Structure 1
Amino acid sequence: MVELVAVDYAAADAEQQFVQSLRDTGFGVLRNHPIEQSAVQDIYRHWTDFFNSDEPDNFLFDPQKYDGFFPRAMAETAKGHTVRDIKEYFHYYPWGRCPDALKAEIDAYYQSTIEFAAKLLGWIENQTPPEVAAGYREPLSNMINGSEQTLLRILHYPPIEDGVMPGAIRAGAHEDINLITLLPAANEPGLQVKARDGSWLDVPCDFGNLIINIGDMLQEASGGYFPSTTHRVINPDGQDSRRARISLPLFLHPRPDVVLSDRYTAGSYLQERLEELRSSDKK
């Protein structure tokens, strides 16, 4: 049975182990990585205070730019699902809106994480078989240079209330749209990835782990060699359901002009997927 095992970033063969995990499961988990956990903890604490205040209503999302606060009533409905996820969230882009008191901290995290993500894209390219890498229209790490599409989402999963709608979970089974997603292990468990045999694997959530998964755009660019794997966030049991959960995924996007394949540019792919999401929200 396939297991997700955290790879030591400092290990001599970390690059090979990490990329093999991505190939096998669509997910890789790193420990002893350079993302500062103290910075992550501070962000969790400060944004928990933000979500528990009246301030989010001052930053309601822009339906054209998609920046700002998305209340639970406007949360996503995963593709193929009919019930909204039990979550609320804030979309941060450097060019977008952000509470002044939180701007410097979240922007520093955004920039440093993108730098690290570029290194991981280099690992992925290094470990791609030559016949697959020949299909990359430009180096993977170069695809994100100058991109204004990379999204940092601050997710708040509130405590599960009595009488929740049947079928509603914190995040329905879905795949990500982008190249790769970087996620510091959240302050609560619940993230699962779907294995090739249809079973669900728990993603190691020890605080300090960094979770990386393949998105649809890298699957497209690699001709399916790297799988964009279905994942979800399940509801906790018992008293754990009364605790909120904070999560901080960075969705790494290429520039819109980047050619992913003969079928798509990054821009055309993103527009197609966003239209699908908008259509599902109207049903």
Structure 2
Amino acid sequence: MGMPRFAGSAAAHSAIWRYQVSESVLERVPVLSMANMTKQDFAAAFGESFQRFGFAMVRDHGMDMELMDEGWALARRFFALPEETKRRYDAAANGGQRGYTAFGVEIAKGASENDLKEFWHVGRDLPAGDPLAEAMPPNVWPAEMPEFKPAFSRLYAEFDRVGGELLSAIALYLGLPERWFDSAIENGNSILRLLHYPPVSPQAPGIRAGAHEDINLITLLLGAEEGGLELRDRDGNWLPVVPPPGALAINVGDMLQRLTNYRLPSTSHRVVNPPPERRGHARYSMPFFLHLRPDFLIDALPQCVDADHPRRDPPITAHDYLAERLREIGLIKGK
């Protein structure tokens, strides 16, 4: 049987969405259309949502939904493979950047308990001899699933394309040239993560992934079978976030926060367990972490620095910042 869209039937996904999303979330974080707004209007609304919430929801983005369906089906098949098979592709040797990371390895920065998830990373393949290849190991692919590589290579390219368009809106919002980010993310170390949160018992603790902020520029998330994603608003309240069917959830990462001198703040988010009656169901998720080029120097933009907002962080390359953060979450070792 083929994998239905959004890892469940449309009716089922709609029911889950109605069940888990409070009206206040949709009232506070509007769903924006990339197709039905002018470029300037979309940029203004998108940037304002980022500035206020560190988060936005976007529909009419042009993602290939049939390809997404295929991706969901392949992700479920991969995570259903025997543990010893999955561990053949252990990503420990490359800092977790490519291949498989087993259940319980990653831990949120500052957390005391590891996350209840396993995942697979697809990254950018660079041609032999490219000077950035040292910072980006080649992809690995499961030999047991020959269709895995072509499907996720195409899906990676789709997320990369749409992410670039979203960043062009942020550029306009910040008063930069529309395509300012194009060179900054060209051959960037972006990651497509396939996530699996296995079922838990009705008595399980409440958190599947501890509260954290993403490292990268922006994160794009499309669809999930089970809810559980929550973000913390500026008042410290945790809000459930399940976008309407077909809409992207996009959040600010720490690199964009640093680049904008905290004008666009990174958002704390977490994944909580569903109500006890839903804990026997696995959760699948597919975020795309859009990164800068490894050699890009992250330094506060001049228009984001003034007497009332002095520069908060020193310059650092995207590669050095990523390595620093990967050490903090346990994916690479060392000082």
Assess same fold via TM > 0.5: yes
Task: Pick the aligned partner of 1:171 from 193, 202, 209.
Answer: 209
Q: SS at the partner of 1:249?
A: strand
Counterparts in 2 of 1:199 and 1:163: CA distance versus 1, 3 Å: closer
TM-superposition CA deviations, 1:127-176 (whole Å, max 9, x none): 11x4xx59xxx9223211022x2111100111113554x46x22110000
Task: Pick the aligned partner of 2:277 from 215, 224, 239.
Answer: 239
Counterparts in 2 of 1:199 and 1:144: CA distance versus 1, 3 Å: same
Residue 73 of structure 2 is aligned to residue 23 of structure 1: no
The answer to whether the 8 A contact 2:57-2:249 is kept is yes
How far did 1:208 drift?
Answer: 0.8
Distance (whole Å) between structure 2 residues aligned to residue 224 and residue 171 of structure 1: 24
Distance (whole Å) between structure 2 residues aligned to residue 59 and residue 194 of structure 1: 34
Distance (whole Å) between structure 2 residues aligned to residue 122 and residue 192 of structure 1: 26
Taking structure 2 as the reference length, the TM-score comes to 0.76
Task: Pick the aligned partner of 1:91 from 93, 99, 121.
Answer: 121
Consecutive unaligned residues in structure 2, runs of 5 or more: 1-23, 126-137, 300-313
Letter of the 1:4 counterpart: V
How far did 1:206 drift?
Answer: 2.6
Residue 108 of structure 2 is aligned to residue 78 of structure 1: yes
The answer to whether the 8 A contact 1:187-1:207 is kept is no
Letter of the 1:116 counterpart: V
1:64 aligned residue: 94
Distance (whole Å) between structure 2 residues aligned to residue 191 and residue 163 of structure 1: 19
Distance (whole Å) between structure 1 residues aligned to residue 271 and residue 279 of structure 2: 12
How far did 1:280 drift?
Answer: 11
Distance (whole Å) between structure 1 residues aligned to residue 269 and residue 104 of structure 2: 22
Distance (whole Å) between structure 1 residues aligned to residue 190 and residue 280 of structure 2: 32
Residue 256 of structure 2 is aligned to residue 256 of structure 1: no
Distance (whole Å) between structure 2 residues aligned to residue 104 and residue 30 of structure 1: 27
Distance (whole Å) between structure 1 residues aligned to residue 275 and residue 193 of structure 2: 25
Letter of the 1:179 counterpart: L
How far did 1:51 drift?
Answer: 0.5
Consecutive unaligned residues in structure 1, runs of 5 or more: none
Q: SS at the partner of 1:41?
A: helix
The answer to whether the 8 A contact 2:327-2:333 is kept is no
Residue 178 of structure 2 is aligned to residue 141 of structure 1: no
Q: SS at the partner of 1:152?
A: strand
2:31 aligned residue: 6
RMSD of aligned Cα (Å): 2.2
1:47 aligned residue: 75
Residue 172 of structure 2 is aligned to residue 126 of structure 1: yes
Counterparts in 2 of 1:5 and 1:237: CA distance versus 1, 3 Å: same
User: How many correspondences in the alignment?
Assistant: 272
Task: Pick the aligned partner of 2:235 from 183, 197, 201.
Answer: 197
Distance (whole Å) between structure 2 residues aligned to residue 162 and residue 195 of structure 1: 28
2:134 aligned residue: none
1:104 aligned residue: 150
The answer to whether the 8 A contact 2:64-2:158 is kept is no
Counterparts in 2 of 1:150 and 1:206: CA distance versus 1, 3 Å: same
Distance (whole Å) between structure 1 residues aligned to residue 332 and residue 95 of structure 2: 19
Question: Which one is further off, 13-22 or 214-223?
Answer: 13-22
Distance (whole Å) between structure 1 residues aligned to residue 315 and residue 192 of structure 2: 27
How far did 1:64 drift?
Answer: 2.6
Q: SS at the partner of 1:198?
A: coil
Taking structure 1 as the reference length, the TM-score comes to 0.89
Counterparts in 2 of 1:139 and 1:172: CA distance versus 1, 3 Å: same
The answer to whether the 8 A contact 2:57-2:243 is kept is no
Counterparts in 2 of 1:14 and 1:204: CA distance versus 1, 3 Å: farther
Distance (whole Å) between structure 1 residues aligned to residue 242 and residue 269 of structure 2: 13
How far did 1:240 drift?
Answer: 1.4
Q: SS at the partner of 2:284?
A: strand
Q: SS at the partner of 1:154?
A: strand
Larger RCO (CA within 8 A; separation ≥ 6): 1
Distance (whole Å) between structure 2 residues aligned to residue 257 and residue 208 of structure 1: 34
Letter of the 1:8 counterpart: S
Distance (whole Å) between structure 1 residues aligned to residue 317 and residue 75 of structure 2: 34
Residue 65 of structure 2 is aligned to residue 37 of structure 1: yes
2:21 aligned residue: none
